[in-house]
């Protein structure tokens, strides 16, 4: 059993975590191009304006500009994350359909954070990824209380990986949870320490030879890193398939997708995707993954059985974040460059678009599929879009530089990560 990385967990936080685990442990959450004449590098710069790696602390006032296989990680055979039986369906918060509700502010969470993203687990634990500015993941409960601050420091040899016997620091970008909520996976934009001298940037290609990076698996009960997984260069988005068997990671600078067996911690394949792969959405039967190619104007569909790919055209320029509707018929994408959210009918190919604000980055879907929640990075707003008619039903001003968002179906709360250094919690009831 690998030795987990150290972290601080107060007695009060341990009690809170125990209560949350007992109260909601049985629930599972919802699954969660360049323009004409524009170079791919210019498209990447547009993405990098507030996406993943400002050269200075974003909380200090930066508004634009970013910094731009695998060894086997041993795991206890009894601790594989693949689900033997389908997990139970979460019980959504009671009330009217989501399209009839109104967003309202609940609270703002500060502290020593610079959140690039926030993701709520099926059991109600929210992870905020604080990049290289804080070198931490901060975890919160459904009462919005801090449970733990998890440092991104690991010694890879403690997890059976080759390399120098030295501590490394990461730069947490995004997170995804196993369907049962037992584990959270966190991508690291780049690693810092011996053996990692050439960290990636947001304008890059495979020819640049940037360092590969690592994904951490975090035990959600203990809030400790318990597995380290090698992936490609500058990993960004992650998704765990609904059956829990596979972890998918988009590698921004190596232009590919890591396909990892969660039971063994081994990389099954690394698939070529295209320039600047970003968002991922997986069908409810775990058969197909859709991957956004942000350096182009297409979506790549991956058959997760035989790992073949096909391309879907027509979504629009620079797709960034993807979500699938409840019946897997509609695929939604934020188009960062165009300032719109697009809905593609996967049966007919029809695309409908709605303008939400300047630079829509991330989004999430209500439990009933009736509404999308979208962060508009440069507008400092959150938009609520009704999916039936693809219309903006509400726009709410929030703190500066909203960049990540996650919906908790049990509480009907929407968590928003701001690069300016806070989290906002909204209620849609």
Average pLDDT over the chain reads 85
Q: What is the pLDDT of residues 227-273, one digit of tens each?
A: 999 999 999 999 999 999 999 999 999 999 999 999 999 999 999 99
What is the rounded distance in angstroms from the CA atom of residue 402 to the CA atom of residue 149? 21
Q: Please, which pLDDT band fits residue 80 given cuts at 50, 70 and 90?
A: very low
Contact 249, 232 (CB under 8 A): yes
**Interval 100-134: pLDDT, tens:** 999 999 999 999 999 999 999 999 999 999 999 99
pLDDT above 70 covers a percentage of the chain that reads: 79
The mean pLDDT value for 263-289 works out to 98
pLDDT at 241: 98
Banded pLDDT at 164 (limits 50, 70, 90): confident
Domain ranges of the chain: 11-68+70-428
Report the share of the chain in percent with pLDDT over 90: 77
Give the whole-angstrom CA distance, residue 254 versus residue 43: 16
Which of 63-67, 103-107, 394-398 shows the lowest per-residue confidence on average (mean pLDDT)?
63-67
For residue 323, pLDDT beyond 50: yes
Q: What is the pTM of this model?
A: 0.83
Among 2.130.10.10, 1.10.357.10, 3.30.70.3270, 3.20.20.105, what is the CATH number of 11-68+70-428?
Answer: 2.130.10.10
**Count of CB atoms situated within 10 Å of the CB of 102:** 12
Residue pair 279/237 in contact by the 8 Å Cβ criterion: yes
Residue 89 has what pLDDT?
A: 62
Distance CA 116, CA 53 (A): 9
Which residues contact residue 184 at a Cβ distance below 8 angstroms, ignoring those fewer than 6 apart? 119, 121, 125, 127, 175, 176, 177, 178, 217, 218, 220
């Amino acid at each position: 059993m690998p030795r987990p990385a150290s972290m601080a967990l107060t007695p009060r936080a341990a009690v809170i975590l125990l209560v949350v685990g007992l109260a909601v442990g049985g629930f599972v959450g919802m699954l969660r191009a360049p323009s004409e004449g524009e170079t791919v590098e210019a498209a990447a710069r547009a993405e990098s304006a507030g996406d993943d790696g400002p050269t200075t602390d974003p909380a200090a006032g930066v508004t634009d500009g970013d910094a731009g296989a695998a060894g086997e990680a041993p795991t206890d055979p009894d601790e594989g994350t693949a689900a033997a039986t389908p997990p139970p369906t979460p019980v959504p918060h009671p009330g009217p359909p989501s399209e009839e509700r109104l967003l309202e502010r609940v609270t703002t969470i500060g502290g020593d954070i610079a959140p690039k993203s926030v993701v709520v687990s099926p059991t109600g634990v929210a992870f905020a990824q604080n990049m290289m500015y804080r070198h931490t993941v901060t975890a919160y409960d459904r009462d919005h209380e801090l449970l733990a601050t998890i440092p991104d420091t690991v010694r890879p040899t403690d997890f059976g990986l080759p390399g120098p016997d030295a501590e490394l620091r990461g730069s947490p970008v995004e997170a995804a949870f196993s369907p049962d909520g037992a584990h959270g996976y966190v991508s690291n934009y780049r690693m810092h320490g011996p053996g990692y001298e050439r960290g990636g940037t947001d304008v890059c290609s495979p020819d640049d030879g940037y360092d590969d990076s690592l994904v951490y698996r975090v035990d959600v009960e203990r809030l400790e890193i318990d597995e380290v997984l090698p992936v490609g260069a500058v990993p960004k988005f992650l998704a765990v398939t609904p059956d829990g068997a596979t972890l998918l990671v988009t590698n921004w600078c190596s232009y590919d997708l890591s396909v990892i067996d969660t039971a063994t911690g081994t990389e099954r394949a690394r698939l070529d995707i295209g320039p600047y792969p970003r968002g991922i959405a997986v069908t409810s039967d775990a058969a197909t993954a859709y991957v956004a190619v942000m350096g182009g104007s297409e979506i790549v569909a991956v058959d997760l059985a035989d790992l073949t790919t096909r391309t879907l055209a027509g979504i629009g320029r620079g797709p960034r974040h993807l979500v699938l509707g409840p019946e897997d018929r509609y695929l939604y994408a934020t188009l960062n460059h165009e300032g719109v959210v697009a809905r593609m009918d996967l049966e007919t190919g029809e695309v409908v678009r709605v303008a939400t604000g300047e630079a829509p980055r991330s989004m999430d879907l209500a439990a009933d599929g009736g509404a999308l929640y979208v962060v508009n990075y440069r507008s400092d707003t959150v938009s609520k879009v009704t999916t039936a008619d693809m219309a903006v039903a509400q726009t709410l001003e929030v703190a500066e530089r909203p960049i990540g968002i996650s919906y908790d179906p049990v509480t009907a709360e929407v968590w928003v990560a701001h690069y300016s250094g806070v989290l906002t919690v909204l209620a849609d009831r």
